[in-house]
Amino acid sequence: MIRVLLAEDHVMVRAGLQALLERAKDIKVIGEASNGQEAIDLTIVHKPDVLVLDIMMPRLNGIQAAEQIRALKLPVKILFVSMYSDAGLVRQALQTGAKGYVLKTSAGEELLQAIRAVAKGETYLGETISSITMEDSFRPNMKQVDNPLELLSPREKEILQLIAEEHTSSEVANILSISEKTVEKHRANMMEKLQVRNLAGLVRLAIKYGLIDKNQ
């Protein structure tokens, strides 16, 4: 039996994925998370075989959660399920050590296949994602555009996401159990690293490079 943890912030989507997985006799959903931090916490507690992880989630997004899970050396296989097929985002996701990436638009039988493959330690990329990654890898004359957010520390990314989600410095401080002065210092450091002059510039970069879902 493959033990799966679902991490998806949209309740209806999560319910649909759960219903799909529960119809499979060899897959069992052992927990559900609605944000990246919950995904980490529940992975520690339940030790699933596979973590099915959305990318755009509040608190910590899927990529940040995957990075922390890798840093903690938790023995879980990660499968990203996302509505986004941007090559840069796919590349970031796979660089976390994730074993698979499929699109929500094709999440049906393909998702079941992906979970089974990932559980065995195999890499599974949906057909569309495979095409994207192949195209992305065969561009020898095009310099890869670096994501400027990679200049930020994990804590700075965490703070930037919360700021972009319209939390005040005081709220960010309370959420992360740090001082408001520390939040302001991190914000100043981010503005310097990213060469922006104001809060709006930080938020624009967070949206542009997929730190938050611009449609939410």
Q: What is the pLDDT confidence band of residue 138, given thresholds at 50, 70 and 90? A: very low
Topology (CATH level 3) of domain 148-208: Arc Repressor Mutant, subunit A (1.10.10)
Q: Give pLDDT, residue 146.
A: 64
Q: 17, 59, 52: which is closest to 36 by C-alpha?
A: 59
Q: Give pLDDT, residue 216.
A: 52
pTM, to two decimals:
0.69
Domain edges within the chain = 2-137, 148-208
Topology (CATH level 3) of domain 2-137: Rossmann fold (3.40.50)
Q: Give pLDDT, residue 142.
A: 31
Average pLDDT, whole number, for the chain? 87
Residue 73, amino acid = K
Surface-to-core class of residue 78, CB atoms within 10 Å of its CB (0-12 exposed, 13-18 middle, 19+ buried): buried
Q: Give pLDDT, residue 143.
A: 38
Task: Please determine, for residue 54, whether its predicted confidence score (pLDDT) is greater than 90.
Answer: yes
**pLDDT tens digit sequence for 174-204:** 999 999 889 988 888 888 888 888 888 899 9
Q: Which of 35-49, 73-87, 112-126, 139-153 has the lowest mean pLDDT?
A: 139-153
Q: Give pLDDT, residue 100.
A: 93
The residues, ordered by sequence, that sit 6+ positions from 189 with a Cβ below 8 Å of its Cβ are 156
Q: Which of 9-13, 48-52, 72-76, 185-189 has the lowest mean pLDDT?
A: 185-189
Tokens encoding 44? 């520690």
Residue 157, amino acid = K
Q: What percentage of the chain has pLDDT greater than the value 70?
A: 91
**pLDDT tens digit sequence for 41-52:** 999 999 999 999
> Distance (Å, rounded) from C-alpha 97 to C-alpha 58?
21
Q: Give pLDDT, residue 16.
A: 93
How large is the average pLDDT for residues 57-74? Answer: 91
The length of the chain is 216
Task: Please determine, for residue 144, whether its predicted confidence score (pLDDT) is greater than 70.
Answer: no
Q: What is the pLDDT confidence band of residue 137, given thresholds at 50, 70 and 90? A: very low
How large is the average pLDDT for residues 40-67? Answer: 94
Percentage helix, strand, coil, to 5, in the chain? 55, 15, 35
